[in-house]
Amino acid sequence: MVSDSITRASVHAVPNNGGRDLGKKKRARSAKLKQCKLDVRREQWLSQGAMKNKEQNSVVKAGKERNNNRSFGNLEMRPRGGQIDGSIHHHHHHHDSDMESNSPNSLTSSVLESNYSETTFTSSSSSSSGGCCSGNITEDEEGGGDDGCLDDWEAVADALAADEKPKNTCPESPPEHEPIAQTVFPQETAIGSDQVEHLNPPYSRVIPKASGNGHAWRPDDAFRPQSLPNLANQLSLPNSNRKHYSCGGVPWAYNGVVPSSCPICYEDLDFTDTSFLPCLCGFRLCLFCHNRIMEEDGRCPGCRKPYEHEPVEAETSVHGGSLTFRLPRSCSMITRS
């Protein structure tokens, strides 16, 4: 259903793109309003948990506005109906799985969750706007004819979604949203124009933070946002990624971040490749190049030691699978505009 709807949506989108800009602007404004409400809601929920200053909040808000703005453009492309249920259901599932994960992983997953918070928020607004559209199934669903009614619906639906969310998460996790979200968003607001470029950097920002707590992503961690480099792949040049590798002494050991492209052939790494870790030194490459090397030299290009044993294939659990699958989808929805 998912891929189907996306394809349909994008096909749908092409001819309508031009006319929608106006609508987008309007929606941006309504998004702002909605965001206020959302923030107020969250404030209420979070006030028990942690103190926080206004500044932080406004930064987050500014960042989120951007996202909402974008997501709206995309959301209109979405077919309505079952899709909404699907995405909401996904959230529940996602939170459940987070809560299930127990102590050794808990920090990781809560950090992860905060990574996702961006996604979650946009998605929740997405589902709501989807919902409102299905409310007025008239033919101008795509056009600039969004009206106050629609905005109100969005606001209400969003407030509901905001209500729902904190209930679903553990009480400790909401405070964590703030600091991490803060590290994520300022960059977005600063860089501005190109959504593509900064999708990757914010995450790599987040990761050192996690490792600062002594909890780095394990290379084979199924919850690790392996999908992120993929994401950058789809949209950005490989060098944007590699550039900051070259700053570190040993590129491939750089905090375990998965490169977006194979360092040998410079082709983009797909999902199979990113979960492929043939050498303990952490040097990643695509399966094709690995095979090629195994035929001749047999040494890891990263450390020059011979590949000793069968490569370690990073495991993907059922939960991890659904997570990593889900994330790129929702993110690419955001970034497609």
Partner 1 sequence: MVDFARVQKELQECSRDIERSGIKVIPKSEATLARLIGTIPGPVGTPYEGGTFQIDIALPDAYPFEPPKMQFTTKVWHPNISSQSGAICLDILKDQWSPALTLKTALLSVQALLSAPQPDDPQDAVVAQQYLKDYQTFVGTARYWTETFAKKSSLGIVEKVQKLVEMGFPEAQARSTLEAAGGDENLALEKLCSG
* Interface with partner 1 (CB under 8 A): 238-239, 242, 263-267, 283, 289, 292-293, 296-297, 299, 301-302, 304
| Contact predicate 271/316, CB 8 Å | no
Nearer to partner 1, 92 or 243 (CB): 243
- Residue pointed to by tokens 């996602």: 94
Nearer to partner 1, 32 or 242 (CB): 242
Smallest distance, partner 1 to C-beta of residue 234, A = 18
Q: DSSP characters for 274-298?
A: HTEE-STT-----HHHHHHHHHTT-
Nearer to partner 1, 201 or 238 (CB): 238
Nearer to partner 1, 202 or 263 (CB): 263
Orientation angle between helical segments 195-212 and 103-135, nearest 10 degrees: 150
| Contact predicate 52/174, CB 8 Å | no
Three-state secondary-structure class, residue 206? helix
| Contact predicate 313/276, CB 8 Å | yes
Nearer to partner 1, 166 or 229 (CB): 229
Smallest distance, partner 1 to C-beta of residue 283, A = 7
Smallest distance, partner 1 to C-beta of residue 87, A = 38
Orientation angle between helical segments 195-212 and 238-245, nearest 10 degrees: 30
* Residue 4, number of CB atoms within 10 A of its CB: 10
Smallest distance, partner 1 to C-beta of residue 333, A = 29
Smallest distance, partner 1 to C-beta of residue 226, A = 21
